[in-house]
């Protein structure tokens, strides 16, 4: 029998079931999921409302190319439109986050007829060759160089350097409003405003990568709404599919015809089952006021993380239900210990414990996180 290639750390746990914020292993042990498949299961595992939409769609049709219209895509665009500020009139469908980032870069190149992409220190934008080119972490890129050569990295959150970074050859500036993978680092309002000004002045596109921050997690539907700075394009993915794979680029209406037929495409894009899930997820987001719940529970979570009472924990970062606890030591040593206490978490950067729980977590769940984190940080490892 073949084996599945390994390039991830193995936790030695076999997950057999999930419901909302919990997962269960084959021993019947329950875990509070603050990993959520890197933020994907933000609306919970097997959320009944989304599951029902998927179940119904499974009886209808699954695979229909974008040449045809389908009820699933109609339901999606009608629900998703209600989540978009009015300036954004067009959505490009893809299957993953990295594919959405690739699409956004292609759009910027074609719209501006320029080639240089500006990204920032500690950025993460994906793992395919184009998006990897604008991802900062050496450990992800080194083995695959040379990558796309026309990339400049600026210093994240250094507004004073933005002016000289964007010249006449820059097609776009790509930035995460809150860096996820790179350490749960919120952008400063000044930094995003400076990027907005200089890109407008130089006719380059401002692209926000909201694949991790978007779809309610930070307490607004889109993190940029908390800053009051609007991009020209932005990407979304992860939570948007309600657990199924999706990536999208959202753009101003006038960019809608950027690609000629044949110039861009993706076989699985707009798959009916995925569309049904993303439509239901979008409906649910409004119906249950998910951003407001993320904001409220995010405050509870931040307070709990700040109460760990250990000397190695420094400070809590992030917004809503995207939170990091910065440590004085490497964070990955604590992931397995937290798991053994029934809490799944992630790292971000070298020394940040990252929590990306579903919107449905309760005060009781937050109490479990608090006690697990303080026990783990206190025990000598």
Residues that bind ligand PLP (CB under 6 A): 38, 96-98, 101, 124-126, 176, 180-181, 209, 211-212, 237-238, 247
- What stretches of the chain adopt beta strand conformation (E)? 15-19, 22-25, 30-33, 88-94, 116-120, 151-154, 170-175, 178-179, 185-186, 205-209, 233-236, 247-252, 313-319, 322-327, 343-344, 346-348, 352-355
- Both tokens of 101, joined, read 């980032």
Residue among 244 and 361 whose Cβ is closer to ligand PLP: 244
Residue among 156 and 313 whose Cβ is closer to ligand PLP: 156
- What stretches of 30-143 adopt beta strand conformation (E)? 30-33, 88-94, 116-120
Helix (H) or strand (E) holding 88: strand 88-94
Residue among 207 and 377 whose Cβ is closer to ligand PLP: 207
Residue among 238 and 370 whose Cβ is closer to ligand PLP: 238
Question: How far apart are CB 41 and ligand PLP at their closest, in Å?
Answer: 13
Residue among 100 and 325 whose Cβ is closer to ligand PLP: 100
Residue among 251 and 376 whose Cβ is closer to ligand PLP: 251
- Both tokens of 128, joined, read 């395919």
Question: How far apart are CB 126 and ligand PLP at their closest, in Å?
Answer: 4
Helix (H) or strand (E) holding 175: strand 170-175
Question: How far apart are CB 357 and ligand PLP at their closest, in Å?
Answer: 16
Distance of CA 283 to the CA centre of its chain: 19
Binding residues: 97-98, 124, 127, 209-212, 266-267
Is the omega angle on the peptide bond into residue 31 within 30 degrees of 0, that is, cis?
Answer: no
In sequence order, the 6+-apart residues with CB closer than 8 A to the CB of 25 are 13, 14, 15, 16, 31
Binding residues for pyridoxal 5'-phosphate: 97-98, 124, 209-212, 267
CA nearest neighbour of 248 among 130, 107, 97: 97
Binding residues for substrate: 127, 266
CA nearest neighbour of 343 among 5, 12, 28, 32: 32
Question: How far apart are CB 135 and ligand PLP at their closest, in Å?
Answer: 8
Question: How far apart are CB 93 and ligand PLP at their closest, in Å?
Answer: 14
Question: How far apart are CB 264 and ligand PLP at their closest, in Å?
Answer: 17
């Amino acid at each position: 029998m073949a084996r599945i290639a390994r390039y991830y750390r193995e936790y030695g746990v076999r997950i057999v079931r999930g419901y909302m914020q919990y997962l269960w292993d084959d021993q019947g042990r329950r875990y509070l999921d603050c990993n959520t498949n890197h933020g994907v299961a933000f609306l919970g595992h097997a959320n009944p409302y989304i599951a029902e939409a998927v179940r119904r769609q499974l009886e209808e049709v699954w695979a229909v190319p974008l040449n045809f219209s389908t009820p699933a895509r109609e339901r999606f665009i009608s629900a998703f439109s209600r989540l978009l500020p009015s300036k954004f009139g067009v959505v490009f469908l893809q299957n993953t986050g990295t594919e959405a980032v690739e699409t956004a870069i292609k759009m910027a190149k074609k719209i501006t007829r320029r080639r240089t992409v500006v990204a920032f220190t500690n950025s993460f934008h994906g793992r395919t060759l184009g998006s990897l080119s604008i991802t900062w972490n050496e450990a992800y890129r080194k083995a695959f160089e040379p990558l796309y050569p026309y990339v400049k990295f600026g210093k994240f959150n250094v507004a004073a350097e933005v002016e000289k970074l964007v010249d006449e050859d820059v097609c776009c500036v790509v930035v995460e409003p809150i860096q996820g993978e790179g350490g749960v680092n919120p952008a400063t309002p000044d930094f995003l405003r400076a990027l907005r000004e200089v890109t407008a002045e130089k006719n380059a596109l401002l692209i926000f990568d909201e694949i991790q921050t978007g779809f309610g997690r930070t307490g607004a539907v889109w993190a940029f709404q908390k800053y009051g700075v609007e991009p020209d394009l932005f990407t979304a993915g992860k939570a948007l599919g309600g657990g199924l794979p999706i990536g999208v680029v959202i753009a101003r209406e006038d960019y809608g015809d950027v690609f000629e037929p044949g110039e861009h495409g993706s076989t699985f894009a707009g798959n009916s089952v995925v569309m049904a899930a993303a439509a239901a997820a979008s409906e649910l987001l409004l119906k249950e006021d998910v951003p407001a719940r993320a904001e409220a529970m995010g405050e509870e979570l931040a307070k709990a993380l700040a109460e760990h009472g250990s000397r190695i924990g420094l400070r809590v970062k992030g917004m809503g239900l995207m939170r990091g606890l910065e440590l004085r030591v490497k964070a990955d040593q604590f992931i397995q210990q937290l798991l053994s206490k029934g809490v799944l978490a992630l790292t971000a950067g070298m020394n940040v414990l990252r929590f990306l729980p579903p919107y449905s977590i309760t005060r009781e769940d937050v109490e479990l996180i608090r006690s697990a984190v303080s026990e783990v940080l206190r025990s000598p490892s």
